[in-house]
Amino acid sequence: MLKRITLLGPPGAGKGTQAKLLAAKNGLSHLSTGDILRDEVACDTELGRLAKGYMDRGDLVPDTLIIDMIKGRLDEDSGFILDGFPRTVTQAEALEKIILIDVAINIALSREEVIRRLSSRRVCRDCGKIYNLLYNSPKNEGVCDACGGELFQRDDDRREVIENRYDVYIDATAPLINFYKERSLLKNVDGSQPTELVSDQILAALRSS
């Protein structure tokens, strides 16, 4: 199994879900910049305060903040899956100077499907469990099955923010596809399929690398 993997794709493509599945099956570390940034915001750290304004608008957090944050978390010996990093060619070039990845998996998903998926997402205020009203809805509307906490829609899951996030992705992140294609590291999978089929496609892509 290749040990250094980055997952590409628009918001809502299922990068986090697939990264967790891959990490669990192959003993790799799962590094999610989104989760790390949200933790920083919740803890009201200096990085969190700097990042919050960008995140609330659906804009990318500046490269320098992200690169400094991720640099100390990469462990070549234990292997890893990057989820949400790199997001720009500048970040990818900076990553190359720190460590070389083995493969970039691009999970492709259309703009309308991204909006449909993310605008249906809800999160528990108490335990953080994530639901989706399309295919993983709670038993009782607005109430977490696990702890009974209130479910809410994150600011970055509102339609207008999602639309901006997708446009930002196209402008800043999609060029990564060519970046990794030129290095013969890119593998494409269809993110519109059920989770299990996407996972199977990713594993097949890794075996063929």
Q: Which helix (H) or strand (E) holds 30?
A: strand 29-32
Q: Active site residue: 87, 117, 122, 187, which one?
A: 87
Catalytic entry in 3, 38, 121, 122: 121
pTM: 0.78
Evaluate whether residue 69 is within a structural domain. Answer: yes
Q: Which of 110, 103, 113 is nearest to 174 (CA)?
A: 110
Q: Quick one: pLDDT at residue 27?
A: 87
Say whether 37 sits in a helix, a strand or coil: helix
- The verdict on whether 111 is a catalytic residue reads no
Rounded CA separation 160/179 (Å)? 29
CATH number of residue 41's parent domain: 3.40.50.300
* E strand or H helix that includes residue 54: helix 46-57
Q: Is 127 helix (H, G, I), strand (E, B) or coil?
A: coil
Tokens of 50: 């700097």
Active site residue 129: no
Domain total in the chain: 1
Domain presence at residue 151: no
Please check whether residue 166 lies inside any domain of the structure: no
Q: How far is CA 182 from CA 97, 185, 205, in A?
A: 17, 8, 17
Whether residue 116 lies in the annotated active site: no
pLDDT for 21 beyond 80: yes
Q: Give the pLDDT mean for 163-190.
A: 92
| pLDDT in the model for residue 76 | 67
Q: Quote the domain boundaries for residue 69.
A: 4-109+172-207
Answer yes or no: 154 catalytic.
yes
- Catalytic one of 57, 154, 158, 181: 154
Per-residue pLDDT band for 191 (boundaries 50, 70, 90) equals very high
Q: Which residue carries 């060619």 as its tokens? A: 89
Residue 65: inside a domain: yes
Q: Is 158 an active-site residue?
A: no
pLDDT per residue as tens digits for the range 62-75: 888 888 778 777 87
Confirm whether 193 is domain-assigned.
yes
- In a domain? residue 155: no
% of the chain surpassing 70 pLDDT: 98
